[in-house]
């Protein structure tokens, strides 16, 4: 029952992503229109959705453990990824940036 509920919740998002992909391949929108739509979504729609979600959310003390565990997991993964990526790269370069002129 939970699987069906999760599928019903994510189905509209999946359909919108597929529709966007199809419209992109058909070159339905001009690049300027896409840039304007991105601006609209990032600056208006996304903040409104986040405010709506957090407004109705009931925080509990148990959530603090989840937040700490997710942060620790992300930190650990990024530190390990940094160690793995650093080895093939030039270790002497550090944070230096190579700029091509």
The answer to whether residue 7 sits within a structural domain is yes
The answer to whether residue 31 sits within a structural domain is yes
Give the C-alpha separation, 65 to 63, whole Å.
5
Please give the tally of structural domains in the chain.
1
pTM (predicted TM-score): 0.47
Domain that holds residue 34: 2-86
The answer to whether residue 100 sits within a structural domain is no
How far apart, in Å, do the first and last CA atoms of the chain sit? Answer: 59
Mean pLDDT of the chain: 85
pLDDT at 56: 83
pLDDT tens track for 32-41: 998 999 999 9
Give the C-alpha separation, 65 to 59, whole Å.
12
DSSP assigned state of 29: S
The answer to whether residue 55 sits within a structural domain is yes
Which residue reads 């359909």 in tokens?
A: 15
Residue 61 has pLDDT above 90, yes or no: no
């Amino acid at each position: 029952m939970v699987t069906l509920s999760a599928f019903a919740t994510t189905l509209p998002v999946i359909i919108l992503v597929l529709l966007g992909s199809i419209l992109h391949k058909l070159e339905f929108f001009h690049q300027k229109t896409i840039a304007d739509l991105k601006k609209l979504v990032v600056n208006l729609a996304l903040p409104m959705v986040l405010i709506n979600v957090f407004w109705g959310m009931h925080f509990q003390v148990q959530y603090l453990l989840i937040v700490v565990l997710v942060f620790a997991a992300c930190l650990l993964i990024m530190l390990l990824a940094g160690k793995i990526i650093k080895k093939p790269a030039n270790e002497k370069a550090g944070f230096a940036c190579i700029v091509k002129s």
